[in-house]
Every structure is written in C-alpha cells, then in structure tokens.
Amino acid sequence: MKLARTASVLLLALLALATPLTASAGAVTEQLAGDVRRVLDALSDPKLKANPDGRRQALRAITREVFDLPEMAARSLGQHWQRRNERERERFVSLMGPLVESHLLLLESAAGTAIEYVGESVHGERALVRTRAAGTGGRPMTLDYRLVRRGDRWQVYDVLVDDVSLIDNYRAQFQKVIRTASYDELVRKLSAIE
C-alpha cells in the first residue's frame, strides 16, 4: 500500500489548520482549528515527548474525538464494509485510529502554513470547511474538510486536497489489497501500524 501518499495528504490538510483563524470563521471551523491545536500542543509538549506512551495515549484520545473513525472505516472499505460482520467492523475501526495517528505524528516537525478560510457550509448533520493555502513552490492549494455532527461535536470524516479525497485514496489502496490478496491481508498490513 502507498500509505506515504495518503500520509502526505492528511499532513498537508492538518498542517493548514495549524495557523490562526480569520475573523470570518464559523463555529465548525473554530472547533476544528481548536482540535488541531490540541494535536499540535500534544506533539510539542516536552513532558509528552519524554513519555512516548503518554504521548501516544494523548494523541489517541484526541484522534478519537476529532475523527469519525467508524465513518472513515465504512467509507474506506466501501462495498466490503457490508460484507463484514460486527466483530470484523469493530476491528477495522480500531485499525483506523493508529493509521490516522501515524500521520499526525508527521506534524511534529511541521511549521505553520499561511491559510485562508474561504467558507463553511452546514447542511443538517454534515458540514464542509473550505480553505486555501500555499502549496509546494507557492502554488495555491485547496483544502476541504468534510465533517459530520456526532452529538454536540463535529468530526472529520474526509479531507480533500485539491479535490483529491483522503477516503477515496484509502479506498483505492484497500480495494487493491483485497483484490490482489484478501481482506485478511489488509487487516494484517494495517495491524502492523498499531
């Protein structure tokens, strides 16, 4: 699997939120930026750096709050989600957390990026936060965050970088492993990240 490419997409997307909000940011954007700030604070905390287990636990707790891992798992597996029994689904959701966490660790050495919050739209229980940032070589890059309301919080279930979806990327990689090997092989590969 080409998880490095997926990691780059997630890294760029989360890095963009590390910069201050503009005055026109809406409630969803403010919550999301606050959540990302918590991730960055956990990564830069000297006490947590000295305690890898504590740091991992802190990141795990934040990840479970910020990302809708069950939604990400279902969308990433696509048609294969329906074929899984409840125990298999629970196991797959548990594997999404470490995958996302491994990408968050890449943020540690990243500096803030200038970001413009273009807008936020909310449609019932779904929201989209649109942003623009300077990409590689100063080329503008769009970052769109898809969120779903879960209780009183908004959780990320997909990130689009220049219209390329993180979930679509995961799905393509997962489908390839399932097609060329098996679902069990995909679980084995993802388990290696834990």
Model pLDDT, residue 5 = 53
User: What b/e sequence results for 80-104 when a residue is b if at least 16 CB atoms lie within 10 Å of its CB, and e otherwise?
Assistant: beeebeeebbeebbebbbbbbbebb
CB 129 within 8 A of CB 32: yes
Instruction: Please write the tens of the pLDDT for every residue from 136-179.
Output: 677 788 888 899 999 999 999 998 888 999 899 999 999 999 99
Contact 98, 187 (CB under 8 A): no
pLDDT in tens, 101-131: 877 765 554 445 556 778 899 999 999 988 7
CB-based contacts of 142, cutoff 8 Å, min separation 6: 118, 130, 131, 132, 160, 161, 162, 163
Q: How many residues does the chain have?
A: 194
Structure confidence at residue 180 (pLDDT)? 97
**What separation in angstroms does the CA of 74 have from each of 54, 68, 100, 170?**
29, 10, 15, 11
pLDDT category, 1, cuts 50, 70, 90? Answer: low
- At 132, give phi and psi (nearest 5°): -130, 145
The string of pLDDT tens digits covering residues 51-95 is 988 888 888 899 899 999 999 999 999 999 999 999 999 999 999
Residue 48 has pLDDT above 70, yes or no: yes
Q: pLDDT value at position 133?
A: 73
**Domains annotated on the chain, with CATH:** 3-191 (3.10.450.710)
